[in-house]
Each structure stands twice: as C-alpha cells, then as structure tokens.
Amino acid sequence: MNALTMVWRQFSAERWPALLLALSVAILAALATATPRLMASLDDRQLAQELSGLSAIQGDVTGSWAESTSSSPVTGLADPWAPHREALGAVRGAQPEPLRSLLGAPQFVADVPTVVDITPEVGTGYYEARFLFFVDPDLGEVAELVEGAWPAPRPVEEGRMGITPTGPQEVAALAEAAERLGWEIGEQITETLVLSGTFRPLDPDDNRWEHVSYGRTIVEEPHPDRGVRLVTGLFLPPSYLAAATPVEELGPGVTETLTVHAWFGVETSHVADVRVRELRAQLTGLLAERYPVVLPGAVEEGPPPTQVRLASELGDALERVAAQQDVTRAAVAVAAVGPLAVSLALLVLAAQLVVERRRTAVELVTARGLSWHQLRSLLTVEALVLGVPAAVAGHLLGAAVTPGATTPWAWLPTILIGCATALALAWAARGVATSRARSDLRSRPGRRRIAVEAVIAIATAAALWALLTREGSGAEGIDVLATATPVLITLAACLVALRLYPVPLRLAGRWLRRRRGLPAFLGTVRAHRDPAGGLTPVFTVVLGTTIAVLSATLLGSVITGTERATWEATGSSMHVSGPRVSDEMLTEIRSLDGVRAIARIHDAGSNHRLSQDGETRVRLWLAEPAVEEAYAASPFGSPLPPGLFGADGDPGVVLGSAVGVQTGAAQLEGVGPVRVLGHLVAPPGVRTGSAWAMLSTERWPAGVDLPPATLALVSLAPGADPAGVSEEVAAIIGEARITTVDAELRAVRDTPTVSGLTRTFAALTLATAILLTLTLLGAQLMATRARTHLGAILRTLGMGRRELRTLTTWEIAPSAVLGLVVGTGLGIGLAALLLATLDFRSLTGGAQAPPLHLDPALLGGVVGVLALTVVLAIAATAWLAGRADLAQELRIGEER
C-alpha cells in the first residue's frame, strides 16, 4: 500500500474532519485576498469622491500669462494655439504616473482686457448691458451652434501703413443673452462688433465652464435706482490670439495684451490603486518648476520666452485624502485581524481534529513500525492535496466578491496558506504517541509559555507607550503602530483570560459541589480539568468578540461624529445664506407651515478691539435670541453658554477658542464693558475663522443700526417636509443658498467613508460570527468520543438525556461567557484608544475629534449576533451529546 492509497483510505473512513480542514483553508485564503482589495477599493472611492467634489478652480492645475496680439509676426495663423498645446502636452507627458494619468489634456481660454457697455432697447427691461470678451479655441467642441455661424477673423488689407483690418469684428453670444436683448444674426452691437452666431453649452455642468467667466451664464446685477444690468460674455474667433490686429477698436482703454489661461483638468476616471502621498509629492514637483511659454511664430533669436508657474489647490485635497486613508486603513486592518486570527485558529483546530479522529489508526501504524518521518510525509501529501486546491478556491472567491484588479503577487499569500496546512497537520501530530493527561495537573507551568507571555507583555507596553506619545504618522500605507498596538493588547488580554480562566471554574465547582445535582458540577469540573479543544475556544471568542465590538464602536463613533459635524456646519434644520434677509422676509418665513423658529446672525465686521490685560481684534457676530430655539433642533443641543441673551448686567459674549482672553470682565470696542462667558471652536452654522466673538443683538448699542444679515438658521417642526419648506424659503429670499440637515446627512451616509466602512465592518463581523461557530463546534467535536463515552456510562447509572445536555452546556458555557464579557469590554476600550490616538476628524469633517459613542442598536446587534452564535454552537453540541447511542458506546472489543 503506497502513501496515496493510505491517504485516500484515511479520507474515506472519516471525511468531515478533512473537509473542515479544507474549509478553514479556503476561508483563510478568501479573507487574506478580500481584505487588501477592500482597503484598496475604499481608498480609491475616497480619492475619487474628494476629487469629484472639487470645483474646476480648486482642483485643476492652472497657469496664466500675458500675450500680445501684435507680438507675433504671423498674421492670420490658422491655429495659433498649436504651439501652446504641444508645449503643455510635453509637460504633461513628462510627469510620472499616476500624476500623468490624473491630468487631462491641456485646455485654454484667453481674456480680452476690455469691457463694452451698451444701452439696450427699452423693451428688454435692462438699463444697461455689459460684455466681457473671451477667446476660446475649443468653443465649437463644447457648445452647439444655435443660429448663424462661428465668428471669423476680420479681413485685412495691406497698404503703405502695413496690415490693417477692415470691417467690424464678428462675435458669438449665448443664445439666451441674444434672446433677452432681442438680437438677430448680423446685429450691429457697436460700430466695431457684429453678431455672427449664437450658441448653447452642450453640458452646462461641465467643469470647463468654470474657467470661462460669464461664458455659460447671464448675471443680472440690480441697481437701487436705475434697474437691472445684464452681464455676459462674447466670444472672438480662436485666431484672434495671433491676428496682429489693433484690438483697441473693440472699445476704449483696450491694450494689445491678452491674458491666456491654461489648465489641466482632473480625470477621476483613472483613479485606481493610487498612492496618495506619492501623487502629492509628484504634484509638488510639477508646481515647483517654471515652464517656458512658446509663442506662435516665435524665433530662436527673439527675446527670452515668458515663463509660467502652475498652481492648484489639489494638493490640499490630497492631504485630506491621505489623512482619511491613514485612519480607514488602520481601522480596517485592526477589524480584519479578528476573522483572520479566528480562521487561523480554526485551521489549527481542524488539523488537530483530523489527527485526533485518526489517533487510533495512527497509534496502530506507529506501533507497527511507521517512523515519524514517514508519518510526516503522509500528512504533508494529504495537506497539499487538501490545502492547495482549497486555498485557490478561497482566493478566487475572495476576488469575486470584492472589487479590484488581481495582481500576480496577490497569489503569494494564497500559496503560503495552502502550504501552511502541512505545517498545521505536522504540529497537530507531534504528540500523537504520548499519553494524554489532565490539563490542570501539569507539573510545571511551562517555561516557554512564560517567556512568550513576558515578551508579549513587554511588546504591548512598548507599543502602547509609543502610540500614546507619538506626534503624528506620515507613513505611506497601513499605520503599523496603530494597527499592531490593538492586536498586541488583544493578545495580551487573551493570555490574561487564559490564565484567569480556571479561577471562576474552581469557584463554581466549589459552590456547585455543596448543592444537589450532578450535571452542573460535573460539567464545570470537566471544563476545568480537560476543556474541549484546549483553550482555543476561549482565545477565539475573546479575540473575535474584541475585534467585532471594536469595529461596531468605531463605526458608531464615526457616524455620530459625522452627524455632529453636519449639525455644526448647518446650525439648525435649515441653513440660509446669500442675499440680505430683511425683517419682512423674516416675518414671512416665520409664518410658513413647518417652521418652528428662525434666527438671523449679523456680521458686524472683523476689526473690533477686545481688551482685557492686552488687546486683540475679533470678528463680531450678532445673534438674535431666537438662535437658541434654532439650535434646539439639533440632537446635540445649543453650545452657547447661559447668560448670552440675558438683559441684566454687562452684555455677555462668547469667544473663539483661539482668542487669548480669559473668562470675566473685558472691553469690546463699540459696545463697552462685556462679560466673557466662555470659549467655543465655532458657533454652529457660522464660518467664523479663529478670532471671533458673538453678542446678542439685544445688547447692540441703541441708536446704531444693525448690520445687514445674510445668514439665517431655520428650525423645522417635527414632521415638516424640508424640501418643500426649502422651496418656499427660496421663493421668498430669491438667490439664496439653502441647505437642509436631512439632505446633508443623507449625503454623509452615502460617502465612501461611512458606507464603505459600514459594509466592510459588517462583512468582517459576519465572517467572525461564522468562524466562531465553526471553531466552537470543531473544539467540541474533538471531545465528542470522550464525552459520549462518559455520557453512556452516566446514562447506565440513571442520568437522562436532559441532564446529559445540561452537563455538556456547563462544560462549554463558562469559556464562551468569559470570552464574550472580556471581549466586549476590551473592544470598547480599544475603540477609545484609537479615537484618542488617530485623527478621526479627517473622516467626520468636524472641528473636534469624535468622542466615544456606544450606539445601542449597532453595538447591541453585534454583541447579539456573537452571543447567538455561541448559543447555537452550545445548543448544537448539547443536542448531539443527548443523542448518543448507549449500546454502541458500551460495546466492547470494537476498534475505536
């Protein structure tokens, strides 16, 4: 009989332990594959969301320079923009990846330094029309021609005075502007301007239009006496850049120098697996250089070329994304340790179970002369046959359920996991020939175990000290210290739990020994003397519960922190800003259905002197007393100190936290003596800056007009429709920016940070629950034969099936309850540690770090799922113990 035949016979005799081993390998490989892909997907979604939320002015890489229309000797050049495209295209092509793929093709527009005012027809309703002039080489690609033709260059004549243009200059106008002004194609706008065509943007929401002021919009500027003025843009032909024509004929005060704006758009579609800090460094290098401007028709012997330096606010956005990714990577890495460690424990336990179920056969062939090396070879062959295909299947499953591209190096952990099965089986078979003894009667506690525990304790203390005392982390990738410290603390807590595990069992045994009834006492004693599966169940339950509770607590704290930040930014149910909110508007809004309160906040200027021991200048805000009612809509309440709106004594003020004035008496310019009531980072709903003060409008000096208010906070009654009320408020105020906290909270929940972490933590918690069930069942199955044989003997002495199930429950429950209790407390403590040492403000967007928040629904759900998992495992084991065949177990002479 060769090795393969023996392996097959062993597998056929009892298949389910080997199948459990293969399942544990597949789960471990799936988790090892899915976890980094989940982290990479979350990173990409965070980066894409941050970049897509930037305006073109904020995110695009821009540059501008002055260029004269008469500086080039080329007249009527067909495409004067070609040298610019080629030069900036070379700049883009010289950048390393991923910056090169992130930057789009260079785009251009030129501003003509002139403004032309005309008096339109009376029927238009405008007292004046003002036009700004642009040269856009790509206008025909981003806009559709509604009527007429695109503007053409002016015809020129060559005479004794040189080249001179003839006839008026053709321009293109926005179709809506031409309609409002009553223009027709060929309309003589001025003596030197004629309308050649009208256009409409193909995509008005295209970020490109943000670089072309008044290119897609019409602005109506009201005048208190004269009426309304229309302001819009007119477009000259693209060849105007090098036309060599006297542009002063467009209007008075015009020079021949144009301002050319160039920019690289941000292509978010190419964002995938980007190292943000590396991209930030590449962007810094791009912005630090100066680049020559190649003018149309320039010659080598000419003057030195103009140089331009590029600029962008994209670097600040990348810094924010890097901070977010640091936190989310650490949180996900810590959360993934739980199921990974439990699946590894399940792998070891499954290997022990395979060897345990074959102990009789292995002892027999060993007694017949099978050497240890031969046994190890057989186990290695079986492990590779089982482990490698299972690891490959787990890898494919993990790759299928998570987004992302598969790279060749991602197969390395899978191969190592498949091969690790051989090591697990060899380790499990190391003591197959030794006699089994009670675990509580060992002669020595084990020097190796003491040494390992001491090393872990020292490493835990060192990591905790380093984490608490460090100033920041700028490392690329996973924050190793923030990830390793909770894992070491969890491991140390597991070791403490294992050391303390016998204590409650001994106390329970002493207490139950004096009471009637054998099952509870016998189950407790067996759990102490020879726990099923060793101490692996205690370790896995503590570890799994700790990481699951940690994930739930962090997620609840992040969600609550984002909600708090949203309420701080909005101030109340609705935030209204923009034009002046008059008393009439205030009264009308207050009378709307669903409005419970409305309060205005007035900006009194940023140059008020505040004196105490020294003098500082603050920006003064005046709040109406109704702001307390507006803040009452927030579940976090009003942060304003009591007494701010009191009418007795000196006026009370609240200051920004950066203002170095102590609580007590002070002098405020324009108000007089004041009482400093406290300090805040910022009042909700108000963008104040760092140096600010807030005063009640009732304490504003009599006889001095209140400054106009452009900010109002609206509190809605329960059940009111925020969208409907927003429409009514917009109809009253007009061009106002209105945000509702409900809409903002929905947007926050849909962000990659909250939604991605929610799904990731939910998946990892579910995996932990499944693995805990398998681990507990596997641990109890290791003791099935001993427990069943004991149960058969006890049943012959009169014990019923119910008492036998009770005995089994008492044997398993202490370790499970201990693991749940220790894991829950440890998980909450580790969440508090991470919240204190990592900058979670990058995730919440608030000015303050989110506090520890124990969400009863979220935390209770996670603990409930884990407790249900333990209960089901105990119930299944107890049910199987009660179904033992008495005659089969007491049969003598049968090989077991």
pLDDT tens column, 211-228: 887 888 888 887 777 888
The upper half-sphere exposure of residue 195, i.e. CA atoms within 13 Å in the direction of its Cβ, equals 24
Lowest mean pLDDT across 12-16, 415-419, 638-642: 12-16
Check pLDDT > 50 for residue 619: yes
Q: Is residue 215 part of a domain?
A: yes
Write the Ramachandran bin of 329: left for phi over 0, alpha for psi from -120 to 50, otherwise beta.
alpha
Contact 846, 861 (CB under 8 A): no
Which parts of 227-279 are beta strand (E)? 227-236, 257-266
- Give bridge partners of residue 680 from the DSSP assignment: 656
- What pLDDT sits at residue 314? 86
Contact 114, 330 (CB under 8 A): no
Nearest to 133 by CA among 163, 169, 167, 168: 169
Cis peptide before 403 (omega within 30 of 0): no
* Phi, psi at 539, each rounded to 5°: -60, -50
Q: Are residues 673 and 697 in the same domain?
A: yes
Q: What angle do CA 192, 195, 198 make, to 5 degrees?
A: 155
Over residues 269-327, the pLDDT tens digits come to: 766 778 888 888 888 888 888 888 766 555 445 555 677 888 888 888 888 888 888 88
Q: What gap in Å lies between CA 54 and CA 687, rounded to an integer? A: 19
DSSP 8-state class, residue 849: P
Of residues 462 and 841, more confidently modeled: 462
Judged on CB neighbours under 10 Å (0-12, 13-18, 19+), 103 is buried
Q: What angle do CA 846, 847, 849 make, to 5 degrees?
A: 75
Position 896 confidence tier, pLDDT thresholds 50, 70, 90: very low
- What pLDDT sits at residue 199? 92
Of residues 19 and 781, more confidently modeled: 19
Q: Is residue 741 part of a domain?
A: no
- What pLDDT sits at residue 58? 80
Structure tokens at 342: 């439990």
Check pLDDT > 60 for residue 191: yes
Residue 569's CB: how many other CB atoms inside 10 A? 19
Q: DSSP string of 773-839? A: HHHHHHHHHHTHHHHHHHHHHHHHTT--HHHHHHHHHHHHHHHHHHHHHHHHHHHHHHHHHHHHHS-
Q: Are residues 817 and 853 in the same domain?
A: yes
Q: Are residues 89 and 192 in the same domain?
A: yes
Of residues 691 and 518, more confidently modeled: 691
Mean pLDDT of 82-111: 87
Q: Report how far apart, in Å, the C-alpha atoms of 375 and of each of 6, 356, 423, 425 are.
A: 11, 14, 13, 10
Per-position b or e across 460-470, b if 16+ CB within 10 A of its CB = beebbeebeee
- Give bridge partners of residue 264 from the DSSP assignment: 61, 106
Packing angle of the helix pair 784-796, 856-882 (nearest 10 deg):
60
Q: Are residues 785 and 875 in the same domain?
A: yes
Q: Are residues 363 and 442 in the same domain?
A: yes
Q: Is residue 52 part of a domain?
A: no
Mean pLDDT of 626-651: 84
Q: Is residue 437 part of a domain?
A: yes
Q: DSSP string of 556-621? A: HHHHHHHHHHHHHHH-SSEEEESS---HHHHHHHHTSTTEEEEEEEEE--S-EEEESSSEEEEEEE
Q: What gap in Å lies between CA 850 and CA 691, rounded to an integer? A: 23
Q: Is residue 571 part of a domain?
A: no
Parallel/antiparallel/unpaired status of strands 156-159 and 290-292: unpaired
Q: Is residue 53 part of a domain?
A: no
Over residues 303-313, the pLDDT tens digits come to: 556 778 888 88
Q: Are residues 285 and 333 in the same domain?
A: no
Residue 761's H or E segment, with its range, is helix 757-782
Contact 630, 638 (CB under 8 A): no
- What pLDDT sits at residue 115? 85
Q: Are residues 645 and 598 in the same domain?
A: yes
Check pLDDT > 50 for residue 354: yes
Q: Are residues 871 and 818 in the same domain?
A: yes
Residues 6+ apart with CB under 8 A from 473: 326, 479, 481, 482
Q: Are residues 167 and 205 in the same domain?
A: yes
Lowest mean pLDDT across 105-114, 236-245, 338-347, 641-650: 236-245
Instruction: Measure CA of the first residue to CA of the last residue in the chain; give whole Å.
Output: 22
Average pLDDT across the chain, whole number = 78
Out of 312, 344, 362, pick the residue that ends a domain: 312
- Of 345-359, 371-385, 619-633, 646-660, highest mean pLDDT: 619-633
pTM here is 0.74
Q: Are residues 693 and 834 in the same domain?
A: no
Over residues 118-130, the pLDDT tens digits come to: 888 888 888 889 9
Check pLDDT > 60 for residue 762: yes
How many structural domains comprise the chain?
A: 3
Over residues 835-866, the pLDDT tens digits come to: 888 888 877 777 777 888 888 888 888 888 88
Over residues 787-804, the pLDDT tens digits come to: 666 666 666 666 666 777
Contact 104, 323 (CB under 8 A): no
Over residues 128-179, the pLDDT tens digits come to: 899 998 988 888 888 999 998 998 877 666 655 555 556 788 889 999 899 8
Q: Are residues 528 and 641 in the same domain?
A: no
- What pLDDT sits at residue 99? 87
> What's the domain range around 213?
58-312
Packing angle of the helix pair 801-837, 856-882 (nearest 10 deg):
150
- What pLDDT sits at residue 278? 86
Of residues 363 and 747, more confidently modeled: 747
Q: What gap in Å lies between CA 201 and CA 141, rounded to an integer? A: 9
Position 7 confidence tier, pLDDT thresholds 50, 70, 90: low
- What pLDDT sits at residue 362? 66
- What pLDDT sits at residue 795? 64
Structure tokens at 481: 């210290």
Q: Is residue 435 part of a domain?
A: yes
- What pLDDT sits at residue 198? 92
Structure tokens at 353: 């179970």
Q: Is residue 574 part of a domain?
A: no
Q: Are residues 40 and 95 in the same domain?
A: no
Out of 287, 312, 337, pick the residue that ends a domain: 312
Out of 312, 346, 365, pick the residue that ends a domain: 312
